[in-house]
């Protein structure tokens, strides 16, 4: 980068001068700014972009003698001064080659910013508010407004902040290294919100690389990857009632019905180039829709910044910034705020399991495998082409846990669904023999990742009561949703992938063959109460050639809709919280495509509209009937009535609330109506038909039980009473037991009874 080595600085030795001018100096604060030079003082500034520099200070006056000498053609300026006061302060008047002049503070006159306590907590891996220190923060230092920058790059030889403000020249704002922790820092005066910046690193191998800020709060997306300075302290929330109530809820005893959404493709604006909706537009359209449909929560596929659309957000480069595709961070806060005001919780998909290899991201950040494992047998996901975090490193665990807390803190997020937990738990995940490294005991369990997940859950629940953490875990790992003090991983809930697989397989079979696969629909109840489960029909089931949920159903169009209605109602009747991916609620025919909107025009069709209304009714019923949710994790809340009638593909079971409310469900998984079908019940009374997926309003044939039936004194299936029912085809019916009211006797009879007892 240098063009000449002479004339040399009269106050710097050759090696230090050369390192400074070639942007390889490891400690620029030791030479730039104000320093002692023997009995005199010297102020140095490296500004290759200016013509001249003049010192401005009220303490020593202002005249032409205070112009700096340009001691090197590459822009090194020096000024020697005598007898400066101890509290000496100054500014620099920069004159550019265009003739324009500005008055600036010298960034190299400011003292260290990060405290030793901060660096200690970070090195220990327990600085939970790390995001309040790292990255770019608008602040005031010694009465001067500007922006502080911190980045972790312990093996870099030099780190600079570059941006439009210094013409992306890494020589102008090199940073100070805090040797005890490997963090680099600088305070740059006068920078304002919206400034574009990156970190320019001279890595340990001597290569110059540009990196986006790992802690950036706002960022460009796509091919443009600069970080942006953003003020996170400006937004004023209006969800205090929601936040206060949230902390009082025991979520395992609450109804949780989740609508999973990809913000970029839920609805688009075809008249404006098929653009996705902004956060404000989503607040105005998506939130009212979710509320109308009766869902309790929205789960957003990853909103953290990501360059590749086709990753759906699961290959994150900006862990601390909501994607700028839909607006700025305050716009996203407005979206969350509006959801809370409407009584809807927000869950984010969070991706601590891997990150992409994009050069501007975390990969080989300082020239070394800093965030990822050095051994590719531990550090790479071959299936996804991504890198795996090194969970054994304190600073990496701290980065991830602080990131989770950041979303809960600054964005009032109500839950984090952790992606691909199985890939984190097992060292041999998707690896053939010989291509993975056993743990210290010779096993396949990733002990470091296990410790990280436990610590993540402990800290999140400790600091934010009322939130939920959810594991997407597809194996039989024990205790995923059990507390860590009982040996579990500490998650609040676990996705029930086994239920999803078995039921989808059963539902995809022609009804005539379902009799041979009765075990597919009963097996989930053998383990349903081992975890706090969430039943999920997620985006993963409607991509990569799997077909939409409606297209998975067998039969003609009528049977496809009838099967899907029955399946959805079965899901709501089964123990476990609920999740459905967008488009499934109205029967999307095509697979999900992240580049286009859902097929909303289908709602003009009677069957699609009927399916949508049934989902709305299911959500209302689910939220209003404690029997469907308050004992989801206990055998006390579920009882088989009969699962042996495989020949007719009929099952019957009951759900019971903690206060004794009973709802009986019967499923007829064939297209044959069943007249006079008897099932056993324990309670005397009227059983009101509160759900029938064959109702005409949903698009069915309207076969039912005329509002309900009375129990008969006929013992059946080991129970003292029974119900005689009409079972509609490919349908589920739900019957709520109503305890008979005591018979009111005439006053004369009551008086006669009292007299007889007296006699």
| pLDDT tens digit sequence for 492-520 | 999 999 999 999 999 999 999 999 999 99
* Helix 557-573 and helix 497-507, axial crossing angle in degrees, nearest 10: 150
Task: Write the pLDDT tens digit of every residue in 430-459.
Answer: 999 989 999 999 999 999 999 999 999 999
pLDDT band at 58 (very low <50, low <70, confident <90, very high): confident
Is the model more confident about 71 or about 297?
297
Please, is 135 exposed, middle or buried when counting C-beta atoms within 10 Å of its C-beta (0-12, 13-18, 19+)?
A: buried
Both tokens assigned to 527: 């383990």
Q: What is the pLDDT of residues 380-429, one digit of tens each?
A: 998 899 999 999 999 999 999 999 999 999 999 999 999 999 999 999 99
How far is Cα 218 from Cα 221, in angstroms, rounded to an integer?
Answer: 10
Please report which confidence band the pLDDT of residue 4 belongs to, taking 50, 70 and 90 as the band edges.
very low
Give the separation between CA 45 and CA 440, rounded to whole angstroms: 52
pLDDT in tens, 197-217: 999 999 999 999 999 999 999
**Higher pLDDT, residue 195 or 18:** 195
What are all long-range contacts of 59-67, with beta carbons under 8 Å and residues at least 24 apart? Answer: 59/84, 59/85, 59/88, 59/89, 59/90, 60/84, 60/88
Indicate the pTM of the whole model.
0.94
Instruction: Give 563-605 as a 3 state SS string.
Output: HHHHHHHHHHHCCCEEEEECCCCCCCCCCCCCCCCCCHHHHHC
| Confidence label for 745 from pLDDT (cuts 50, 70 and 90) | low
Q: Which domains does the chain have, with CATH numbers?
A: 14-109 (2.60.40.10), 116-228 (2.60.40.10), 256-625 (3.20.20.80), 627-738 (2.60.40.1180)
> Which band of pLDDT confidence, cut at 50, 70 and 90, is reported for residue 222?
confident
Q: In 10 A of CB 359, how many CB atoms?
A: 12
pLDDT at residue 662 above 80?
yes
CA–CA distance, 559 with 672 (Å, rounded to integer): 11
Task: State the pLDDT at residue 743.
Answer: 61
Phi, psi angle pair for 199, to nearest 5°: -105, 125
Question: What does the pLDDT look like over 125-135, one tens digit per residue?
Answer: 999 999 999 99
pLDDT at position 354: 96
Cα angle value 488/490/492 (rounded, 5°): 125
Q: Give, for 50, the enclosing helix (H) or strand (E).
A: strand 50-56
Q: Under a CB-based contact definition with an 8 Å cutoff, are residues 456 and 404 in contact?
A: yes
**For residue 482, which phi and psi values (nearest 5 degrees)?**
-105, 150
pLDDT at res. 440? 94
Predicted pLDDT at 2: 40
As a whole number of angstroms, the distance between CA 153 and CA 204 comes to 10
Helices (H) and strands (E) in the chain, counts: 15, 38
Question: Which tens digits make up the pLDDT trace of 322-346?
Answer: 999 999 999 999 999 999 999 999 9
What pLDDT score does 744 carry? 61
Confidence bin at 757 (pLDDT 50/70/90): very low
3-state secondary structure 485-545: HHCCCCCCEEECHHHHHHHHHHHCCCHHHHHHHCHHHHHHHHCCCCCCEEEEECHHHHCCC
Catalytic residue positions, numbered: 419, 472
- 62 backbone dihedrals φ, ψ, rounded to 5°: -145, 120
Of 6-20, 559-573, 721-735, the poorest mean pLDDT is in 6-20
- CA pair distance 324, 333, nearest whole angstrom: 13
The confidence band for 746, taking pLDDT boundaries of 50, 70 and 90, is low
Q: pLDDT for 235-288, tens place per residue?
A: 999 999 999 999 999 999 999 999 999 999 999 999 999 999 999 999 999 999
Nearest to 424 by CA among 441, 448, 402, 457: 448
Query: Where is pLDDT greater, at 706 or 7?
Result: 706
- 197 close to 226: Cβ distance less than 8 angstroms: yes
- pLDDT for the residue numbered 755: 53
SS3 478: coil
- Residues in contact with 308: Cβ distance below 8 Å, sequence separation at least 6, in sequence order: 315, 356
DSSP state of 266: S
Residue 586 clears pLDDT 80, i.e. is over it: yes
Question: pLDDT class for 291, splitting at 50, 70, 90?
Answer: very high
Say if residue 391 is exposed, middle or buried (CB neighbours under 10 Å; 0-12, 13-18, 19+): buried
Mean pLDDT in the chain? 94
pLDDT over 90 percentage in the chain? 88
Residue 83 has pLDDT above 90, yes or no: no
- Which residue, chain included where needed, has tokens 């992306």? 168
- Rounded mean pLDDT of 692-721? 96
- Find out whether 143 and 170 touch, Cβ atoms under 8 Å: no
Residue ranges with strand state E in 57-190: 69-72, 76-81, 91-96, 101-104, 135-141, 144-152, 158-163, 176-178, 183-189
CA distance 503 to 480: 22
């Amino acid at each position: 980068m240098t063009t000449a080595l002479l004339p040399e600085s009269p106050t710097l030795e050759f090696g230090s001068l050369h390192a400074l001018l070639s942007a390889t100096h490891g400690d620029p604060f030791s030479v730039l700014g104000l320093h002692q030079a023997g009995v005199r003082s010297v102020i140095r500034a490296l500004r290759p972009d200016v013509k001249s520099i003049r010192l401005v200070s009220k303490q020593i006056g202002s005249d032409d003698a205070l112009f700096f000498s340009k001691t090197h053609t590459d822009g090194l300026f020096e000024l020697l001064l005598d007898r400066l006061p101890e509290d000496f302060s100054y500014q620099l008047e920069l004159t550019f080659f265009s003739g324009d002049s500005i008055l600036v503070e010298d960034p190299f006159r400011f003292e260290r910013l990060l405290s030793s306590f901060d660096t200690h907590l970070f090195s220990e891996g327990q600085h939970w508010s790390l995001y309040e220190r790292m990255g770019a923060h608008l602040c005031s230092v010694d009465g001067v407004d500007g922006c502080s920058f911190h980045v972790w790059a312990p093996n870099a030889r030099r780190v600079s902040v570059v941006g439009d403000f210094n013409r992306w020249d890494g020589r102008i704002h090199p940073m100070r290294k805090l040797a005890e922790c490997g963090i680099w820092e600088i305070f740059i005066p006068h920078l304002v919100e919206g400034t574009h910046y990156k970190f320019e690193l001279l890595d340990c191998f001597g290569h110059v690389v540009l990196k986006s800020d790992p802690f950036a709060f706002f960022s460009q997306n796509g091919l443009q990857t600069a970080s942006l300075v953003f003020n996170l302290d400006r937004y004023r929330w209006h969800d205090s009632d929601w936040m206060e109530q949230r902390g009082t809820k025991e979520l395992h005893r609450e109804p949780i019905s989740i609508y999973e959404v990809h913000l970029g493709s839920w609805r688009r604006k075809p008249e404006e180039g098929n653009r996705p909706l902004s956060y404000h537009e989503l607040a105005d359209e998506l939130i009212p829709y979710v509320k109308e449909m009766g869902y309790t929560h929205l789960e957003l596929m990853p909103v953290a910044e990501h360059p590749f659309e086709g990753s759906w957000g699961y290959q994150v480069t900006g862990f601390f910034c909501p994607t700028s595709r839909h607006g700025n961070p305050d716009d996203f806060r407005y979206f969350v705020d509006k959801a809370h005001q409407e009584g809807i919780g927000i869950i984010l998909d969070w991706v601590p399991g891997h990150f992409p290899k994009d050069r501007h991201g975390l990969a080989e950040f300082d020239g070394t495998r800093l965030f990822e494992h050095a051994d590719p047998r531990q550090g790479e996901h071959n299936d996804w082409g991504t890198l795996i975090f090194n969970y054994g490193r304190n600073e990496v665990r701290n980065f991830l846990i602080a990131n989770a807390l950041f979303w809960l803190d600054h964005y009032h997020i109500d839950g984090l669904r952790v992606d691909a937990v199985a890939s984190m738990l097992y060292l041999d995940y998707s690896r053939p023999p010989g291509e993975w490294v056993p743990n210290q005991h010779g096993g396949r369990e990733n002990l470091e990742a296990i410790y990280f997940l436990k610590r993540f859950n402990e800290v999140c629940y400790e600091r934010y009561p009322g939130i939920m953490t959810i594991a997407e875990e597809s194996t039989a790992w024990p205790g995923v949703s059990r507390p860590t003090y009982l040996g579990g991983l500490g998650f609040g809930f676990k996705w029930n992938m086994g239920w999803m697989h078995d039921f989808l397989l059963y539902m995809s079979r022609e009804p005539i063959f379902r009799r041979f696969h009765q075990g597919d629909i009963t097996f989930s109840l053998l383990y349903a109460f081992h975890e706090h489960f969430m039943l999920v029909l997620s985006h993963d089931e409607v991509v990569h050639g799997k077909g939409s949920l409606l297209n998975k159903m067998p039969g003609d169009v009528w049977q496809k809709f009838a099967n899907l209605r029955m399946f959805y109602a079965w899901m709501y009747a089964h123990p476990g919280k609920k999740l459905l991916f967008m488009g499934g609620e109205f029967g999307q025919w095509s697979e999900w495509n992240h580049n286009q909107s859902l097929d909303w025009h289908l709602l003009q069709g009677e069957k699609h509209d009927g399916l949508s209304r049934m989902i709305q009714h299911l959500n209302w019923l689910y939220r209003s009937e404690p029997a469907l949710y308050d004992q989801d994790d206990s055998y006390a809340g579920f009882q088989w009535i009969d699962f042996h009638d495989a020949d007719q593909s009929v099952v019957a079971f009951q759900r019971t609330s903690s206060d004794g409310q009973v709802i009986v469900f019967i499923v007829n998984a064939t297209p044959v109506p069943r007249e006079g079908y008897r099932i056993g019940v324990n309670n005397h009374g009227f059983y009101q038909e509160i759900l029938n997926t064959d109702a005409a309003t949903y698009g069915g044939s309207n076969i039912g039980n005329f509002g309900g039936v009375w129990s008969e004194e006929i013992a059946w299936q080991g129970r003292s009473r029974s119900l005689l029912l009409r079972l509609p085809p490919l349908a589920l019916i739900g019957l709520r037991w109503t305890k008979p009211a005591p018979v009111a006797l005439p006053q004369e009879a009551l008086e006669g009874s009292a007299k007889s007892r007296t006699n």
